[in-house]
Amino acid sequence: MAENVVIVGAVALGAKAACRFKRLRQDANVTIIDKDELISYGGCGIPFYVAGDVSDETELRSTSFHMVRDEKFFLNDKGVIAMTGTEVTKIDRSNKTVHIKKKSGEESDISYDKLVLATGSVPRKLDMPGTSLKNVFNVSNLRDAIAIKKKITRGEVEKAVIIGAGFIGLEMAQALADMWEIETTVIEYFDQVMPGFVSRSISLMAQRCMERNGITFHLEEIVQALEGDEYVTAVKTNKRTLPADMVIMSVGIVPNTILAKEAGIETGPGGHIIVNDRMQTSDPDIYSGGDCVLIKNLVTGKPAYIPLGSMANRQGRVIGTNLAGGDARFKGGVGSFVVKIFEKSLAGAGLSIDIARREGFDAVSIQVAQFDRAHFYPEKEIIYLELVADRKTRTVLGIQGWGGEGSEMVGRINAVAPLIMNKAKVEDVGNLEIAYSPPFASAMDIVNALGNTTENFLDGMYKPMEMEEFVECWKSRDNGDCFFLDCRARADAIPFEEKFPEIWKSIPHDELEKRFNEVPRDKKIILLCNTGIRSYEAQINLAAHGIDDTVSVGSGISGLKDCGIEF
Ligand SMILES: Cc1cc2nc3c(=O)[nH]c(=O)nc-3n(C[C@H](O)[C@H](O)[C@H](O)COP(=O)(O)OP(=O)(O)OC[C@H]3O[C@@H](n4cnc5c(N)ncnc54)[C@H](O)[C@@H]3O)c2cc1C
């Protein structure tokens, strides 16, 4: 049991570990040290502070009962000594001391029984000219956010370029464009937003929503230099030069583990600290967690970097318990995330289809579209969920979704995440018990429909067509190989039938049984309806008449439209 605990880093993990330990060991000494004076803030709130939803930065550093978490608060309220403006420059493991340097220049050693490294991460740097020009920002801590907001509120920013379309880049783009009406462009190296996190079609839905709100995207583009004399004036890519009076770099983070490495603590090839499930490093008296460690990915079973505030807080509690002599375990995670994109949300847990395949799974993904509430309830909207599963074992590998204002989506992702953690099967998603009342869900909720549709697909009953396949097929529609059968109500389908009489036919689903002779047998039949439900039924009906060369557009015309596909 530790008597004297020193914690380096006082934002998410460090503050949580300190408070948990002190609650369990009121008699022990805890010192948290941070080189910054701003500590224990909600870093995840930064984009909302920049956007103006959170008006003052102190709100991010305050408790729910409006006390600012500073040195005084930690001492009086928590019994924890907080040393801010103090950098730990060295760990001496044999003498069990850390060397500190205050901003005043004063230096000294502090001894510990147990040490916690909560040093977080630092922004990934791009090796190109211009990154140190003025008005080029990272967005990795509260100081960056304060500086960005100051520029904006002084009216100094008209055109901003965000480099990187991960979740922080998207949140920052929205903060600038929505509240401050800054002309905002996002540049991304990969061919989609949120690369690696969601499928291409879900990423397109998010991108189109942001475009409708005035944000410009340049994908598959490489930033080569930031231009300007003292202040940044432009961003040069391999395709264009964009004028900019502010640039925000959000190209990822790397673990901040210099102290650990210099002290001989085991780190992985990417510099992440290696910990066991008690969050102990290779030195049993030193614990670590949060953005500087690798944890177990519960889908792959491999070490993974999942730098999220939700992880850091839970790991901090595990460390606090263990420092007090307990035996708490952090088993790992599936990387559950959610991002607010204007009035909608993008969320997921586990592996996306691309990552699942890259990890060697024989992975399939099925997307469904359905109302978020009972179809008869007046307020409702179509939301999209995609399930990633292993073909052979039918194990659920991931879930991602788009739509809803918040809890509609994240509630469903959160319901499936524990199933993924426990290696549940597709059938478990179909049978998942979901609380139901018409203003909140459907009796057969979209989550259940997702599980059932994936089951039907794996059983060979359902043959879907993905968005990209549809686009290819539509491009080559004049070669006569495909025939588009529209199963919606006649009024919806007629304009298409009139526009494309050779290839598009309207047969409402309730007329199909009588009119199946009108369906050509020498072409591939692309079945469409609004959300994919009637077209799936039609697929089964046609199969019963020996018409097997059919595919049903998974999320229907609604999904194609939300992806911005024009046809
Ligand atoms: C803009 C933004 C939005 C985010 N949104 C979300 C979200 O919506 N959901 C989510 O789950 N996560 C989100 N995150 C991620 C989340 O904020 C981090 O995962 C979390 O803060 C990590 O906590 P940590 O304690 O490991 O490290 P950090 O929060 O990085 O804290 C590390 C601290 O250590 C200090 N330090 C480092 N070295 C030393 C040293 N040698 N001496 C003294 N002090 C030192 C640093 O000054 C820093 O204060 C977001 C992050 C950002 C930047």
Q: What is the pLDDT of residues 264-311, one digit of tens each?
A: 999 999 999 999 999 999 999 999 999 999 999 999 999 999 999 999
Task: Give the residues of the chain that fall short of pLDDT 50.
Answer: none
| Residue whose CA lies nearest to ligand 1 atom number 13 | 44
Q: Is 177 in the pocket of ligand 1 (CB under 6 A)?
A: no
Site of tokens 């909608």: 344
| Residue whose CA lies nearest to ligand 1 atom number 41 | 88
State how far the alpha carbon of 87 is from the alpha carbons of 32, 98, 99, 264, 285, in Å: 11, 10, 8, 19, 20
Q: Is 168 in the pocket of ligand 1 (CB under 6 A)?
A: yes
Q: Residue 379 — left, alpha, or beta (φ > 0 → left; ψ -120 to 50 → alpha)?
A: beta
State how far the alpha carbon of 337 is from the alpha carbons of 48, 115, 140, 250, 317, in Å: 17, 30, 18, 17, 20
Q: Is 166 in the pocket of ligand 1 (CB under 6 A)?
A: no
Q: Is 36 in the pocket of ligand 1 (CB under 6 A)?
A: yes
Q: Are 250 and 168 in contact (CB under 8 A)?
A: yes
Q: Is 140 in the pocket of ligand 1 (CB under 6 A)?
A: yes
- Inter-axis angle of helices 467-475 and 200-212, nearest 10: 80
At residue 480, the pLDDT reads: 84
| Residue whose CA lies nearest to ligand 1 atom number 39 | 119
Q: For the beta carbon of residue 132, count every other beta carbon within 10 angstroms.
A: 8
- Which among 100, 256, 295 is the best mutation to test ligand 1's pocket, defined by most ligand atoms within 8 Å of the CB? 256
State how far the alpha carbon of 511 is from the alpha carbons of 216, 433, 489, 495, in Å: 44, 35, 10, 18
Q: Is 34 in the pocket of ligand 1 (CB under 6 A)?
A: yes
Ligand 1 nearest-atom number relative to CA 311: 11
Site of tokens 């290779």: 282
Q: Is 120 in the pocket of ligand 1 (CB under 6 A)?
A: yes
| Residue whose CA lies nearest to ligand 1 atom number 8 | 44
At residue 2, the pLDDT reads: 64
| Residue whose CA lies nearest to ligand 1 atom number 28 | 120
Residues constituting the chain:
567
| Residue whose CA lies nearest to ligand 1 atom number 16 | 309
262 alpha carbon – ligand 1 mean position (Å): 21
CA distance 454 to 437: 25
State how far the alpha carbon of 115 is from the alpha carbons of 97, 257, 381, in Å: 9, 14, 50
At residue 1, the pLDDT reads: 57
At residue 255, the pLDDT reads: 98
307 alpha carbon – ligand 1 mean position (Å): 9
Instruction: Please return the burial class of 260, using the count of CB atoms within 10 Å of its CB with bins 0-12, 13-18 and 19+.
Output: buried
Q: Is 47 in the pocket of ligand 1 (CB under 6 A)?
A: yes
Return the CA Rg of the chain. 27
CA distance 14 to 120: 9
- Which among 142, 308, 410 is the best mutation to test ligand 1's pocket, defined by most ligand atoms within 8 Å of the CB? 308
pTM: predicted TM-score of the whole model, two decimal places = 0.95
